[in-house]
Amino acid sequence: MKIRVLGCSGAIAAGYKTTAFLLDDDVLIDAGTGVADLPLEDLARIDHILVSHSHLDHVLSIPLLADSVLRMRAEAGRPPIQVHGLPATLEALRRHIFNGVIWPDFTRLPSAAQPVLALHAFEVGEVLDLGGRRIEVLSAAHTVPACGFAVAGAEGHWVFTGDTGPNPALWARLAQLQVSHLVIETAFSNEEQELADLSRHLSPARLGAELAQLSGSVQVQITHIKPGEGQAVMAEVAALASSHRISALAAGMVMELGAASPA
């Protein structure tokens, strides 16, 4: 198994793409603007999309992807792309995107019997099996219902926290898992602490307190930094007294996980 970083920025600008990860060649973990860099043939291979929450920077490519691949998948007799999310997240997609006003309802197109998208609810704590890949839904603490994901690999779990502020429940669960990679957001600098707290994101100071709850020395990669803020945020992150190996995530990175043993 491998995970490719398609986008990991907290907003857009030239060279910056919002959150999206590609697991192997058929599973998206979030669907921000980074998805748009994939060739059409690669887009058509995507069979599953795991959505951490409903904010636009994480879901923008879902409706556009559906429109791009609808004809190719229909001609090949492919089943709908399975979109997995919390019930509140899927309801937000139905009500605010696939409503015929913002975008056509691709859960009923090209036909209600054979749509290009199908929505499937999950709950925190559930373990999904996608073609033998086991992915656990983790808790997150954000301004809307949100979650993270833990992908089981040969040497431990690749963990993506999703957008989250301080979250004791996450660390309680991670203490029970072997974590090989931790992708965690740090959206604002310490100077913007009030904004980080109001928007339920992390600053470097809050990040330090969160990482102190994770034992060992884990490879930690920082995501969701705003364009132009990377140097300032990572300088503050570098000043943390942490046992973990911390670096900035970048689009184009590929993480090799290996195949996990069957449960």
pLDDT for residue 261: 53
User: Pairing mode, if any, of strands 20-23 and 2-7?
Assistant: antiparallel
Q: Is 117:97 a contact under the CB 8 Å cutoff?
A: no
Task: State the 10-residue block means of pLDDT for the chain, 263 residues long.
Answer: 97 97 98 98 98 98 98 96 98 98 97 97 98 97 98 96 97 97 97 95 97 96 96 96 96 88 51
Whole domain around residue 81: which residue ranges? 2-256
Work out whether strand 133-139 and strand 147-153 pair parallel, antiparallel, or are unpaired.
Answer: antiparallel
Predicted confidence at residue 65, as pLDDT, reads 98
pLDDT of 90: 98
Q: How many CB atoms lie within 10 A of CB 165?
A: 20
Is omega for the bond preceding 110 within 30 degrees of 0, making it cis?
yes
Three-state DSSP at 30 gives: strand
Residues listed for the chain: 263
pLDDT computed for residue 259 by the predictor: 72
Cα 233 to Cα 3: distance, rounded to the nearest angstrom: 24
Q: Which two tokens stand for residue 256?
A: 């090799």
Give domain status of residue 263, yes or no.
no
Report pLDDT for 260. 67
**Does residue 130 lie within any of the structural domains?**
yes
Instruction: Read off the CATH number of the domain in which 134 is found.
Output: 3.60.15.10
**For the chain, how many structural domains are there in total?**
1
